[in-house]
Amino acid sequence: MRTAEIRRRFLDFFAERGHTVVPSAPLPTPDPTLLFVNAGMVPFKPYLTGEVPAPWPRATSVQKCVRTLDIEEVGRTTRHGSFFQMNGNFSLGDYFKEEAIAFAWELSTASVEGGGYGLDPDRIWVTVHHSDDESRGLWRRIAGLPDERIVARGDEDNFWSMGVPGPCGPCSELYYDRGPALGRAGGPAVDEDRYMEFWNLVFMQYERGKGPGKSGYPILGELPRRNIDTGMGLERMATLLQGVDNLYEIDETRPVLDRAAALAEVRYGADAEADVRLRVVADHVRTALMLLADGTSPGNEGRGYVLRRILRRAVRSMRQLGHTEPVLGDLLAVARDCMAPSYPEVAEAYDRIADRAASEEEAFRSTLRQGTTVLDTAVAKVKEEGSRALPGAQAFLLHDTYGFPIDLTLEMAAEQGVEVDREGFTTLMREQRERARADARARKAGGTDLGVLRPVLDEHGPTDWRALDTLTTDARVLAVLGVTGPAPVVREGEIATVVLDRTPFYAESGGQDSDAGRLSGASVEAEVLDVQRPLPGLVVHQVRVLSGELATGDRVHAAVDPEWRLGARQAHSGTHVLHAALRQVLGPNALQSGSYNRPGYLRLDFPWRGALSAAARSEIEAAANQALRRDLPVGVRWMTLPEAKELGAQALFDETYGEKVRVVEIGGAWSRELCGGTHVEHASQIGTVALTSESSVGAGMRRLEAAVGAEGFGYLARERDLVSRVAEQLQAPRAELPDRIAGLLDRLKSADRENQRLREQADRARAGDLAADATDVDGTLVVTATTDGDARALAIAVRERLPATRPGVVVVGSPAGDRATLVAAVNGAARSTGQDASALVKRLLDGRGGGSPELAQGGGIPSERLPGTLDSVPALLFRA
């Protein structure tokens, strides 16, 4: 049974039993504790925890997931894949254990002809929590399982919680006996390779208190509404139903593996280590396809770094298999054909996906060349110093600056007989990640610990958010918080985090900056500095008290600055307009991959190889402003996510969408995007869109920046004034400025070339005098000099004028602004005495620079150090 059919049967089964089919959420998630959805229940977490009222009593989904904690195990075990799909059915205060167990048993064992999976009931084992006698009894009664196939296990295996105070409960897992060829008899407690887990039923019925780990915390009591959260691994079920050994060999991954084997000219199954690499390729290519399809772009941090690492591991694995040519385009096309039956969007977006992957692969190939050079130099220095360990800081530099994978550093260093301080590298990596996570959490929470905010949400419920309806509202202060907890009162000049029962302030999201404004009360005036949504449903305000004092329980009037909101609306609508204009001019592959807008300014990132021409930039700007001149209407509609996709709405993938989504249209189909931001009512209200910059923000990624509204007109006015001043200074009509400036530049270039020629003539004439004045240092003729011209040419010219029979060394320095360049040249006689130009340059420049033994160069020293450096040459020549 193909994986797409397994997926369809699951959704149909539960839909027929009253479950609402919920589409998979995009892989990127706004949850500040996660980069990607890593479990099927993540999109349902606000409903399961009671933070947000559930829109349906029972639901089902097949959720895309990415989990990279075990990435090093990918390919080495049958249980680890970085991308997987989790089939789930959820009861939100509706049914409980009996129905969940009955559903799982029926679907698993019903005949294929009857719509089930046809698993042999006699080969199914289950586990239950050792205290859960109710579940044990239900398995006996509903499934007729004997006691020996109902295995009791402890908290580590069969009790679920999120690791923090909140819902928890026992779980029951279903395993399938794959036969004695795959391991020992005795059930899942003995061998989890032979007995493969394929479904986990979580019974959320208790509330847990504080405590570490998976056990040892107190159970505070029963939940008022019990929930069901189940997860059936789609790849695991496919492994069982397709009769293959592991998830890398199912129909959605095996074709990629086979194509990789064909390209590398190896046979799967012939060599254990090659098999691991082939499985890594198959897994990572599929994962990359799905991440790219959901809008993630390779980058140096966060989600982008995860994707970059996955792509580069796939490319490197192919190189280890002996295939050094570009490979991602070929393999991604195979993965697309495998996944399109379940996810048609991967085929629709494939041109964009392939283009981004090709850019990343090209960049990585360049990285390999640069990183290899840096690594070889570092290893040589380690050996020269008599050490056998590459410092962790050097490995981290290779990783952080050059994108060089640590496993590649380890392997290549080992080939040269050098170890790597892996512990030092890991410490630096951990510190970097902790800083990044802390920064992200602090930004979202306004500097307040999330653990301090959660009790506020638990006690008072979600914020009544009115930003899309009004600019003002009366509100009550629910909490005043500092970094560590509640603050009794905040006074004039102090900054604190404030939670209101209702707010008109827009919280930063979807690329739009937060609102500015004031909180006013009987005895307080406070400025709103920032607004964030650190937890689903909770809005927090960072405020500075301007006068008086603010305390919990106070009544205030919350008012958004209307000029700020107008500018924000112009900028956000301008971003949509620019995105549509970009796609109109460049085509559908120019899909927004990131944006930011605030009053008067917007930026938009999109995948594209190479800088845009001046003509393309002008055409994009003209298309955007044409929409403004046509005064296209701006409309908002609410609909289901499938309806929005059917309509062709563009989704921004750093958002999580609920049952209903908000679609913003500008000119109908011309611009149609899922968006929760604030917008103008007609395009003309944007004023103008003036492109101010187009630049690179990484391999294959470009950024457009623009001024909008009043700031846009101001930018154009400043440009006009600048042109007027230039025209006045050149005494030329504006229309002739490009030709007049081009003529001036040509004359300047000619003058520079003539000056260079004269300097070179002077240096050649000077070379003979320098050679004649060479200093004899223990039999070696030494010349040091400075020049404003070509140091390399002068060094060679002086070396040629030294007697060929005498050892000769020439070092020429050339200051250029704050930094200087050094060139060393050594003749044949000096080489025979052991002199080496490359070694000399490195001694002079503290390890920097290089070249051949006859001619080398380097730079970077401050220009003021150049005389002293040249004076040190004689002493360094004969240093051991």
Query: CA nearest 109: which of 90, 123, 97, 96?
Result: 123
- Does 679 count as an annotated binding residue? yes
- Does 576 count as an annotated binding residue? yes
Q: How far apart are CA 595 and CA 72, in angstroms?
A: 33
Q: How far apart are CA 680 and CA 696, in angstroms?
A: 30
Q: Count Cβ neighbours within 10 Å for each residue of 702-738 and write b for 16 or more, e otherwise.
A: bbbbbbbbbbbeebeeeeeeeeeeebeeeeeeeeeee
Q: How far apart are CA 672 and CA 674, in angstroms?
A: 7
Query: CA nearest 597: which of 512, 675, 524, 531?
Result: 512
Asked whether 790 and 813 are in contact (CB, 8 A), the reply is no
| Four-CA torsion 843, 847, 851, 856, nearest 10 degrees | -40
3-state secondary structure 521-543: ECCEEEEEEEEEEEECCEEEEEE
| Phi, psi angles (nearest 5°) of residue 783 | -125, 130
Asked whether 419 and 388 are in contact (CB, 8 A), the reply is yes
Q: How far apart are CA 514 and CA 495, in angstroms?
A: 17
- Does 541 count as an annotated binding residue? no
Asked whether 98 and 135 are in contact (CB, 8 A), the reply is no
Cβ-defined contacts of 94-97 (< 8 Å, 24+):
94/57, 94/58, 94/228, 95/58, 95/228, 96/203, 96/205, 96/226, 96/228, 97/134, 97/135, 97/138, 97/201, 97/203, 97/228
Asked whether 234 and 85 are in contact (CB, 8 A), the reply is yes
Burial class (CB in 10 A: 0-12, 13-18, 19+), 415: exposed
Q: Name residue 28's beta-bridge partners.
A: 36
- H helices within 267-301, ranges in order? 272-293
Return all residues near 435 (Cβ < 8 A) that are at least 6 apart.
none
- Does 579 count as an annotated binding residue? no
From the annotation, which residues make up the binding site for Zn(2+)? Answer: 572, 576, 675, 679
From the annotation, which residues make up the binding site? Answer: 572, 576, 675, 679
